[in-house]
Structure 1
Amino acid sequence: VTLLERTTRKLKLTQEGQQFLIKARKILNELNAAEEELQKSDQGTAGLIRVDSATPFVLHVIAPLMHKFRECYPDIEIELNSNDQVIDLLQHKTDVAFRFGELNDSSLHAKLVCKSRLYIVASPDYLALKGTPTQPEELEQHDLIGFTRPTYINSWPIKVGDEYFFAQSKIKASSGETVRQLTIRGHGIARLSEFEIWKDMEEGRLIALFEDKIEH
């Protein structure tokens, strides 16, 4: 289909081109109107949103953002639920869930929101008492803090030989926040995510180990 006719002096629309232009303008007008309606509806957004995530993510990421969110959406009611284990999100009527790792076979839809580096950390008091390990093999001689489940979390991002180090922990907890508190209080060495401990490292409550050996 020819939409334009070209002469030596000018371009002009063919009959088909004129019809196409009319329809295109109509579509653009409808899109603009739809966008305006969407913006208006955003201003009146209201209702209940149930949000679920692990306790550390709720405490260290979601909670600090709540003030800004409520300024933008004052009419939205928010229910924050902390679950450190896998739950049936549909059964709990969850609208949005933040999880780490890959989504298993599911009817749910997942979208990457952020990435957080893993660190192996200990408190200054623990290192002063037990010494600072300089090689991954030395971790086996130290007090380690791990997770009750899932067990794969206890596989640390550092290798001993050709294998990733698996923490045989003397203390285990189901919550990352509990692991963090135990580590700060000098009970041992732990593997934790940057989002929950960056401030602890910045302020000297925790010290990162093996930074040049950890795989990210």
Structure 2
Amino acid sequence: MDRLLSMELFVAVVDKGSFTAAAEAHRLSQPMVGKHIAALEKRLGGRLLVRTTRRQQLTELGQHYYQRCRAILAELAAAEDAAELLRQQPRGVLRLNASVTFGSLRLAPLLAEFMARYPEIGVELELSDQLVDLVADGYDAVFRIGQLADSGMVARRLKPYRMMIAASPAYLATRGTPQTPADLAGHDCLGFSRWQRDDGWDALARRHGVEIAASRFQCNQGQALRQLALAGAGLALQAEALLADDVASGRLVSLLDGYLPPPKPMHLIYPADRQPLPKLRVFVDFIVERLGAL
């Protein structure tokens, strides 16, 4: 039998004073209530109630069990109330994951606006260029750059992730300005160690059928490559989000705009749920409003 229902019926019998009243309150027959109480007594190995002609008397075991049942049922009711509250209002903590460059330069400023709009929602943002498991790692949503495998998750398309090649004016004054990918053979192309086969200088060289010398400098963080480019150490091939402000200010010069790698698809990924919690629903709506694909 349903142990939780049996506990509820036992408490109702005690509170209401009879099997009949408990049965009416739960829309059950009196014999069915009796079966539930008998099932509890069998499980516990002792009598909970002693019946007299006028009322039920709790045994010592029954008194202890009654108090624990009331506490458990109260905790359950509180948990259900809290869950209902979460489903009614956007509140709680959102756990998010994004790449380092996108997360720090594009997403973080938007999260400040989002939290101002929804003061009862907190955010835990983890930045990593490693692929994470949304469910196993306990995230509510993750941002993914690149082609997606079929995962059964909901994927909302966002604006594509564009790349840019840039160098400092001082570097170009000394080494010249490349006009085509073939000219890159005579330049210092700063390397990003986390590039996959379809990324970076090697992919650009294959795409245009040219040779590009191996980089003398390799790093796993785009910010370091940006700093080297600003210092005149070479050409950086990095996200537009990372280099665009420097180009706009004149600290860097955009290069080979007609030969750039194609933009990468970008998505917001989250579990499929017919009734997502309001905190996730309003976050998805907010991100699509700000970063949704045109």
TM-score where L is the length of structure 2: 0.53
Q: 1:163-197, CA deviations, whole angstroms, 9 ceiling, x for partnerless residues?
A: 37767322122222332232222221121222222
1:54 and 2:54 are equivalent in the alignment: no
1:119 and 2:167 are equivalent in the alignment: no
Considering fraction of residues, name the structure with more helix.
Answer: 2
Structure 1 window deviating more from structure 2 (95-104 vs 162-171): it is: 162-171
* Structure 1 Cα separation of the partners of residues 93 and 207 of structure 2: 51
Give the secondary-structure state (helix, strand or coil) at the position aligned to 1:113: strand
Structure 1 stretches of 4+ moved >6 Å: 40-43, 164-167
1:69 maps to: 114
1:82 and 2:127 are equivalent in the alignment: yes
1:181 and 2:232 are equivalent in the alignment: no
1:171 maps to: 217
* Structure 2 Cα separation of the partners of residues 139 and 96 of structure 1: 39
Q: 1:32-85, CA deviations, whole angstroms, 9 ceiling, x for partnerless residues?
A: xxxxxxxx9788311111111111111211111122111211111101111012
* Structure 2 Cα separation of the partners of residues 63 and 208 of structure 1: 25
Does the CA contact (< 8 Å) of 2:164 and 2:257 recur in 1?
yes
Q: How has the CA–CA distance of structure 1 residues 90 and 150 changed in structure 2, closer, same or farther, with 3 Å as cutoff?
A: farther
Does the CA contact (< 8 Å) of 1:147 and 1:175 recur in 2?
yes
2:236 maps to: 190
Q: How has the CA–CA distance of structure 1 residues 135 and 162 changed in structure 2, closer, same or farther, with 3 Å as cutoff?
A: closer
Give ranges in structure 2 of 5+ residues lacking alignment.
1-84, 263-294
Q: How has the CA–CA distance of structure 1 residues 203 and 162 changed in structure 2, closer, same or farther, with 3 Å as cutoff?
A: closer
Give the secondary-structure state (helix, strand or coil) at the position aligned to 2:145: coil
Does the CA contact (< 8 Å) of 2:166 and 2:253 recur in 1?
yes
Q: What percentage of residue pairs aligned between the two structures are identical?
A: 33
Superposition pairs of residues 1-216 of structure 1, within 5 angstroms: 44-152=89-197, 153-155=199-201, 162-163=208-209, 168-214=214-260, 216=262
* Structure 1 Cα separation of the partners of residues 213 and 257 of structure 2: 17
* Structure 2 Cα separation of the partners of residues 167 and 42 of structure 1: 56
Give the C-alpha shift of residue 131 in structure 1: 2.1
2:39 maps to: none
Q: How has the CA–CA distance of structure 1 residues 70 and 208 changed in structure 2, closer, same or farther, with 3 Å as cutoff?
A: same
Does the CA contact (< 8 Å) of 2:181 and 2:208 recur in 1?
no
* Structure 2 Cα separation of the partners of residues 106 and 79 of structure 1: 23
Considering fraction of residues, name the structure with more strand.
Answer: 1
Does the CA contact (< 8 Å) of 1:45 and 1:73 recur in 2?
yes
Give the secondary-structure state (helix, strand or coil) at the position aligned to 1:202: helix
Aligned length: 177
TM-score where L is the length of structure 1: 0.70
Give the C-alpha shift of residue 209 in structure 1: 0.8
* Structure 1 Cα separation of the partners of residues 122 and 240 of structure 2: 29
Give ranges in structure 1 of 5+ residues lacking alignment.
1-39
Give the secondary-structure state (helix, strand or coil) at the position aligned to 2:116: helix
